[in-house]
Every structure is written in C-alpha cells, then in structure tokens.
C-alpha cells in the first residue's frame, strides 16, 4: 500500500506546491509551522478540496488527475479522517457515530475485526453515551474508531492531539502506536510537535509556506540540520534503535544497549530484550574532550566527530559517530553505526578546539531522552 502526491493549488495568498511519495505502510508525519499548508494538503487528499492541478494516487487507484479529469468524490476514496476537534454528531450516540460511515461502506470489515477495534480503543462501555458526556480523549478515541470501522485504504490524522492536555495525549498516543504496528495502511499524521514525530513516525514530510522542503525516513530527517532555519520550529536530533539490556526497578532506571553502548533512561517497566526507539535532541547532547567524572549525567558515550555544520548565528551542529576506533567515520556511512547530533555554541567549539575525526565524549542526561520510548 502506497501513496503518491503531486499537487499545485492557490488558496488565498498561499500557493501549495507539494510532491512526495510514500512507498509503504506506516505513519508519515506531515510537519511544519502553522500556516504552511498542512491541513489544506490533507483536505485535498481527502477530496474535500479540489486542487488546481496535479495527481493523487492511493495504492493502485488514481483518485485525482487533472490532465485526465479524474476527481473521485470523497465518499469513493476510502479515506478515514480524524479531525483536530473530533467532529462527532452531538445528537447521536457513540454507537451511531461509530457506525455512521461503516453502514454506507461496501467494503465492510468482518465482525470480529470490528470488535477488535472497539476492544483496542476501549470504547465498548461508551456506546450509549453522547459526545457532550465524553472527555476530550474519549472523543478522539471514538473519532478514531469511526475512521477505522469504515475500512479505509489510507488514514488522515489532522493534529489529533493538539486540543488535548498532556495527560489526554499520553492516553491517546498508545492507540496510534498500535495502529501503526497492526493496521498495514498508510497514515498521514499532521503535526507541528516534533516529539510526536519522533515517537510515532516512520517517514516525514517537512513543509513550509506551501512547499515540501524535504521528505524521507524519520531517522535521517530528524538529523537534518539544514531544515532548522527553513521550517521554523524544526528541532534537529537523533532517533536511535536500542534494546533493553537490564533494568533496576528499585533504582527506577532501565539500561539499554545501543550499538554496543549502554544508555541509561528512566525506568520503562518493560521486559529485557525488548526493542525500543528513543529520541535525543541535539540541544541536549554535551561534548567533552575527556570522560567527565562525578557528574549527575548517566550517559558518557565515546564518539568520533564526523561532521561539523557551521550555522548562521552563535551555534554549531556536530555529527558524532558511536565509537573511538579508527574506522568510525567509515562505519557510520557503510554499516549504519548510529550518529548522534549535538548543538553547542561556537565559543564552546573554539574553547575545546574541536575538529573533524576528533575522538570525544557525548554526555547525555537520562531525563532528556524522550519517552515513553516506543516498541519497535
């Protein structure tokens, strides 16, 4: 299942000029500052807005082609859409909201799959209630259930967490993770929150002022220092694969193995040998020429400087390959050895006399590693 988009559209003063391809299922984060055209983009894909020209293909089906005058109506595109504000019918019960689209769908899910979705979302006890008696998190779960029960070929999520407080966001995020891992369909997830991107996304499309600046794997995109001045709120960092090596519930820490290096994080409550993914912001990585002693930071990782990006302003970005061996830089390019990104002041770089291929140490506080970490 894939999606290909190439569209141009003028809306007020914003000219949308977007092109990207997603070759496989998973969550693709559409990221950018407010006003960059993200919501207009997903409304066009959904068939709610007709673009001036372009092409939209979902799996093997062309749903819009300007040159061939193809423009399938929204109801025929097999798209599930979850809006920022849920948009439930206030006069209908949860049950009626859930099955509103499914009843009109010729491609119905088997009954056991429908029940599995309701059980996963925990909304069976809510069936007889009306939306005004639901919390914000419950409304979004019902909206997500409504979209899934329609058996879509693609799911569009337009900033589904932006109206929720932190506690409700943490309530909803695991459902999106389950969705990514168990429903093998493309998911476009519109957001301006980089933490959500790092936790949920497999792919990423960065937009600004109506244009796609870049797209690709979230692992490579979050390390793109060149996107920071272009996309406004973009915050470079690193997404790493790791495995839980051991844990100490009494000390409330978990010990991860990441490419042979130990990383200490707050206690995860997950079993040993569990694969996880973690996000470390470039601004949270310190650099030392020698291993520091008697400090509170638990993570001191030997690294080699493989890249120095001199930004306009007073900061500098470093690419730091795990390891001190002679081939560290080469291994980073050929074997996928992890690269950390660190953002430090130019004065610090000058004071430490940092240079390419220099062997240094990355220092990371446990509490700055973004969590909860997601399962692989």
Query: Could you give phi then psi for residue 119, rounded to 5 degrees?
Result: -65, -45
User: β-pairing, 26-31 with 186-191?
Assistant: parallel
Mean of pLDDT over the chain: 86
Residue 298 · residue 264 · CB < 8 Å: yes
How many Cα neighbours within 13 Å face the side chain of 45? 31
Residues 319-376: pLDDT tens digits? 999 988 766 555 555 456 788 999 999 999 999 999 999 999 999 999 988 754 555 5
Give the pLDDT score at 372: 46
Residue 311 · residue 341 · CB < 8 Å: no
Give the pLDDT score at 112: 87
Paired with 265 in beta bridges are 254
Give the pLDDT score at 228: 58
Give the pLDDT score at 336: 62
Residue 187 · residue 27 · CB < 8 Å: yes
**pLDDT exceeds 70 at position 286:** yes
HEC per residue, the chain: CCEEEEEEEEECCEEEEEEEEECCCEEEEEECCCCCCHHHHHHHHHCCCCCCEEEEEECCEEEEEHHHCEECCHHHCCEEEECCCCCCCCCCCHHHHHCCCHHHCCCCCCHHHHHHHHHHHCCHHHCCCCHHHCCHHHHHHHHHHHHHHCCCCEEEEECCCCCCCHHHHHHHHHHHHHHHHHCCCEEEEEECCHHHHHHHCCEEEEEECCEEEEEEEHHHHCCCHHHHHHHCCCCCEEEEEEEEEEEECCCCEEEEEECCEEEEEECCCCCCCCEEEEEEEHHHEEEECCCCCCCCCCEEEEEEEEEEEECCCCEEEEEEEECCCCCHHHHHHHCCCCEEEEEEEHHHHHHHCCCCCCEEEEEECHHHCEEEEEEC
Confidence of residue 150 (pLDDT cuts 50, 70, 90): confident
Can you tell me the distance from the alpha carbon of 63 to that of 70, in angstroms, rounded to the nearest whole number? 7
Give the other-Cβ count within 10 Å of 270's Cβ.
Answer: 15
- Domain ranges within the chain, ordered by starting residue: 3-236, 239-375
Residues 11-37: pLDDT tens digits? 888 999 999 988 777 899 998 888 889
For 260-302, give the DSSP string: TEEEEEE-----TT-EEEEEEEGGGEEEESS---S-S--EEEE
Can you tell me the distance from the alpha carbon of 64 to that of 189, in angstroms, rounded to the nearest whole number? 21
Which of 91-105, 151-165, 285-299 tops mean pLDDT? 285-299
Q: pTM (2 decimals)?
A: 0.81
Give the pLDDT score at 10: 94
Confidence of residue 301 (pLDDT cuts 50, 70, 90): very high
Residues 70-108: pLDDT tens digits? 999 998 888 999 988 888 999 999 999 998 877 666 777
Q: Which residues are CB-neighbours of 102 under 8 A, at least 6 positions away?
A: 108, 109, 114, 146, 149, 150, 151
Sign of the Cα torsion 177, 183, 148, 189 reads positive
**pLDDT exceeds 50 at position 126:** yes
SS3 18: strand
Give the pLDDT score at 374: 53
Average pLDDT over residues 254-263: 92
The class that CATH gives domain 3-236 is alpha beta
In CATH terms, the fold of domain 239-375 is OB fold (Dihydrolipoamide Acetyltransferase, E2P) (2.40.50)
Confidence of residue 232 (pLDDT cuts 50, 70, 90): very low
DSSP letter, residue 141: H
């Amino acid at each position: 299942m894939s999606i290909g988009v190439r569209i141009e559209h003028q809306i007020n003063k914003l000219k949308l000029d977007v092109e990207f391809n997603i070759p496989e299922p998973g969550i693709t984060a559409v990221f950018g500052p407010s006003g960059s055209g993200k919501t207009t983009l997903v409304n066009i894909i959904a068939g709610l807005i007709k673009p001036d020209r372009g092409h939209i293909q979902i799996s093997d089906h062309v749903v819009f082609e300007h040159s061939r005058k193809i423009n399938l109506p929204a109801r025929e595109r097999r798209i599930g859409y979850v809006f920022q504000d849920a948009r439930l019918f206030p006069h209908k019960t949860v049950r009626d909201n859930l099955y509103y689209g499914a009843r009109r769908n010729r491609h119905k899910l088997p009954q056991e799959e429908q029940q599995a979705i309701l059980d996963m979302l925990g909304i069976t006890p809510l069936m007889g209630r009306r939306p005004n008696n639901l919390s914000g998190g419950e409304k979004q779960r019902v909206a997500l259930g409504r979209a899934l029960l329609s058996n879509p070929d693609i799911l569009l999520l337009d900033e589904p967490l932006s109206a929720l407080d932190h506690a409700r966001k943490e309530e909803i995020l695991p459902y999106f993770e389950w969705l990514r891992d168990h429903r093998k369909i493309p998911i476009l997830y519109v957001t301006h929150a980089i933490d959500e991107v790092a936790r949920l996304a497999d792919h990423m499309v960065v937009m600004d002022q109506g244009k796609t600046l870049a797209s690709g794997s979230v692992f490579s995109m979050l390390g793109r220092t060149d996107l920071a001045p272009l996309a406004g709120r973009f915050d470079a960092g690193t997404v790493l694969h790791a495995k839980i090596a051991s844990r100490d519930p009494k000390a409330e820490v978990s010990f991860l193995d990441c490419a042979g290096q130990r990383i200490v994080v707050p206690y995860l409550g997950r079993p040993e040998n569990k694969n996880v993914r973690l996000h470390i912001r470039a601004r949270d990585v310190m650099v030392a020429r020698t291993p520091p002693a008697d400090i509170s930071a638990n993570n001191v990782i030997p690294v080699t400087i493989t890249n120095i990006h001199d930004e306009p302003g007073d900061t500098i970005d470093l690419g730091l390959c795990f390891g001190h061996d002679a081939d560290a830089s080469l291994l980073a390019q050929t074997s996928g050895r992890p690269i950390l990104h660190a953002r430090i002041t130019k004065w610090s770089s000058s004071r430490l006399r940092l240079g390419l291929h220099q062997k240094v140490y990355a220092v990371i506080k446990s509490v700055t590693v973004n969590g909860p970490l997601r399962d692989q």
